[in-house]
Structure 1
């Protein structure tokens, strides 16, 4: 009698659906939520912080594309580090990145709570948080396809709202608001700005880019795995362009924060100042939709990271963490668990959560760059031609150096909380390996949809990606 195969993740996503999930994850309207925090940190050059972040993370995006070709399995930085360098290090990188993946849905719940508290101060904040958690769990349990469709609709609404903001802000600037022109260099540099302040601001906005890496979590659900590297680059380029444009218009209109009452989340007041109360209500509704879209995407990603770590035997019990529902073809247990973590959004502030997120994210980015060198340049020996040296040594080294530079500029609170989280991971690793006397449980990557560690871009599978973001 043949054994019944265990259920696996369903391949249902085309390239533009994955890009849409990535952009939804990034929540482009976040540039307006954190504008006040970053403007204070950078002395009024928010666009420069985003520009530096985009340049640094482009190198890392190239590395993610290279690694997802080699290992087209879910798990992202965790999978790449464990397979290219060492399983134990992979666990620690996965544990560090788990911090930012777990907290990203929390960020969106915090943003929604802040919106609602400004408009409905009489309603307890926990009510909104519980509602968000229930929504994320419900949609992500049903199917990633349903998540993709809802995300696509909400993302389109968010992009339309951003376009409306840019038009209204441009009109106000032309009438003399702020710099009085969109062609001034003041939003990216002026007297008194310090490079260290810009880097500190970049560490805050870096969490806005998290999403380009998260799309690699859908490698086992992509119709064509070859489309994932392209989705990575498109996500970071499109998202970076939106962030920079939003920051440029906002900074040109408001060189200082004079007149703002809520600097923790400036989006509602930005909308009020450029378009009046009617636009404020509309833009907050759009931002609410974007936060839900980001919450759906980030919640789906973290549930898959937990699932892969459980499938690999490093999160126990494996029968819970590593299980896929036969009915829904989704990791139900990890989806519910990640949804419960969202309840942490009841009290934290946006700046604290965003800075802590970057601790894990920047560690993950750094090691993905190093994994490219380990896998391609060292294991495969692809360092004999100038092209290979640039692709597999120079570019990932630049990516690792850039993300490492941002990491050392994190806030003290982020470093403390992140270090505590890492210490907990070390304790777990010590227990799993029984004092490092036995190897970390490993999953043969060839069991995850036939990946063999070779460049998948040489495969001949046809590109079946749809042409509509929401397909």
Structure 2
């Protein structure tokens, strides 16, 4: 199970906490850890919904499978189509970020060289098999956590020696000027840090005893991520209660790294950020290829390509290659646009997974009984309420692009169902 947990943590990219700290600190007036507490609680409720669905339907399609099995095959297709935005665009973003990081260190080498090299490396590693991807990601995640621990130690030393503008207090969690509205606003931004905790559900058919390991792994990934984010930002916020004192709010974390450890630690910190990008890109390509495999196996995507599995390596090779080629769009991609699309796809998946649990309970209420209402009714309803709130945090660009993608999916659905005269094709899953 721990191998799955590490893969999920790699996808979630623990170093994302450093990317958003400055902006959210300014937004919440120095209460980033408090915002992380709110969003962690919200995500844990959705993680419970994913766990219940993974236990009931241990198949590779994640939200696509859950909506298809509990609500309708037509809606399931649209949910899977929307979720593709999250899965397909994340490898592009990681490829783009790899170019940004490495070009800063090696400005004489063209950006395209780094992007192409990045895509080639993660594609080859994923084709080699799930064991290779998991082993690499385990090492990458361990390295990120070690750098983060060193970051915390150096930050604590700086606070004790008075090198920053603050001291150890509980103000990052609660102070007299705290605003609940601003905390929720910050939480909506910090939701990005958790994207990927659900990705391991796409590996249900490759895991040992998936009905137990996948639900536990999902919850552990969300919990570990939340604790990690809260801890790191608590120390950072105590060192700099007011981030306006920094020269660059958007680049607050690298600046703090240089302040607490000098140029040498800033270089180590940058290595951790680059490792995070590689690990996330590797895990994203792994999960995206499995989601497309589930849709290809059903026949809602061309089966000959997307439903193919390599006999020896047991990997969806064609899907991995396709996603690798798609990731090369990072050569022309705008980071803001891609991020907006990821948010739309992720929040769609979160919404319908929570709804799927509720619908499953309503359909099987006589069997489950009122004693199961809390787990199958109340908890997913709380998760759904938080997710609906997150929808309101999406910017206009995300809504426009997301719904445009959804319209294309609806046209595809009309074609494969012959104008809704037939059901979408579905793979007959047979237990061995």
TM-score normalised over the length of structure 2: 0.94
Q: Partners of 1:46 and 1:349 in 2: how far apart? A: 27
1:469 alignment counterpart: none
Alignment of 1:277-292 (within 5 A): 277-292=263-278
Q: Partners of 1:112 and 1:261 in 2: how far apart? A: 24
Are residues 110 and 36 of structure 1, via their aligned partners in 2, closer, same or farther at CA, if it must alter by over 3 Å?
A: farther
2:362 alignment counterpart: 377
1:241 alignment counterpart: 227
Are residues 309 and 426 of structure 1, via their aligned partners in 2, closer, same or farther at CA, if it must alter by over 3 Å?
A: same
Alignment of 1:58-77 (within 5 A): 58-77=44-63
SS in 1 for 2:366: coil
Stretches of structure 1 that go unaligned for 5 or more consecutive residues are 1-14, 451-471
How many residue pairs are counted as aligned between the two chains? 431
1:200 alignment counterpart: 185
* CA shift digits 1:219-264 (9 cap, x unpaired): 1011221211111111111111111112222222233444655554
Instruction: Determine whether 1:401 maps to 2:385.
Output: yes
SS in 2 for 1:420: helix
Please say if residues 101 and 298 of structure 1, whose CA atoms lie closer than 8 Å, have aligned partners that are also in contact.
yes
2:148 alignment counterpart: 162
Q: Partners of 1:114 and 1:249 in 2: how far apart? A: 27
Q: Partners of 1:198 and 1:129 in 2: how far apart? A: 36
2:130 alignment counterpart: 144
Are residues 111 and 201 of structure 1, via their aligned partners in 2, closer, same or farther at CA, if it must alter by over 3 Å?
A: farther
Alignment of 1:301-450 (within 5 A): 301-316=287-302, 318-346=303-331, 348=333, 350-379=335-364, 381-382=366-367, 384-385=369-370, 387-444=371-428, 446-447=429-430, 449=431
Q: Partners of 1:155 and 1:69 in 2: how far apart? A: 26
Please say if residues 297 and 427 of structure 2, whose CA atoms lie closer than 8 Å, have aligned partners that are also in contact.
yes
Instruction: Determine whether 1:80 maps to 2:45.
Output: no
Residue 62 of structure 1 and its aligned partner are, at CA, apart by: 0.7
Which segment is superposed worse, 432-441 or 156-165? 432-441
Which segment is superposed worse, 252-261 or 78-87? 252-261
Please say if residues 207 and 354 of structure 1, whose CA atoms lie closer than 8 Å, have aligned partners that are also in contact.
no
1:5 alignment counterpart: none
1:180 alignment counterpart: 166
Please say if residues 243 and 252 of structure 2, whose CA atoms lie closer than 8 Å, have aligned partners that are also in contact.
no
Please say if residues 166 and 240 of structure 2, whose CA atoms lie closer than 8 Å, have aligned partners that are also in contact.
no
Q: Partners of 2:245 and 2:41 in 1: how far apart? A: 32
The CA RMSD over aligned residues, in Å, is 2.1
Q: Partners of 1:252 and 1:290 in 2: how far apart? A: 25
Q: Partners of 1:439 and 1:126 in 2: how far apart? A: 44
Q: Which has the higher helix share?
A: 2
* CA shift digits 1:115-138 (9 cap, x unpaired): 223323333322221111111110
Which segment is superposed worse, 93-102 or 176-185? 176-185
* CA shift digits 1:275-332 (9 cap, x unpaired): 110001111112211221111111100011011111111112x100100011321001
Residue 416 of structure 1 and its aligned partner are, at CA, apart by: 1.8
Residue 200 of structure 1 and its aligned partner are, at CA, apart by: 3.5
Please say if residues 46 and 251 of structure 1, whose CA atoms lie closer than 8 Å, have aligned partners that are also in contact.
yes
Are residues 199 and 124 of structure 1, via their aligned partners in 2, closer, same or farther at CA, if it must alter by over 3 Å?
A: farther
Which segment is superposed worse, 198-207 or 225-234? 198-207
1:223 alignment counterpart: 208
Residue 414 of structure 1 and its aligned partner are, at CA, apart by: 1.6
Please say if residues 102 and 338 of structure 1, whose CA atoms lie closer than 8 Å, have aligned partners that are also in contact.
yes
* CA shift digits 1:345-365 (9 cap, x unpaired): 335565553343121111111
TM-score normalised over the length of structure 1: 0.86
* CA shift digits 1:9-38 (9 cap, x unpaired): xxxxxx110001011111111111222333
Stretches of structure 2 that go unaligned for 5 or more consecutive residues are none
Please say if residues 258 and 265 of structure 2, whose CA atoms lie closer than 8 Å, have aligned partners that are also in contact.
yes
Are residues 197 and 415 of structure 1, via their aligned partners in 2, closer, same or farther at CA, if it must alter by over 3 Å?
A: farther
Instruction: Determine whether 1:48 maps to 2:34.
Output: yes
Please say if residues 37 and 263 of structure 1, whose CA atoms lie closer than 8 Å, have aligned partners that are also in contact.
yes
* CA shift digits 1:423-449 (9 cap, x unpaired): 2211211222122222111123x33x5
Q: Partners of 2:381 and 2:80 in 1: how far apart? A: 20
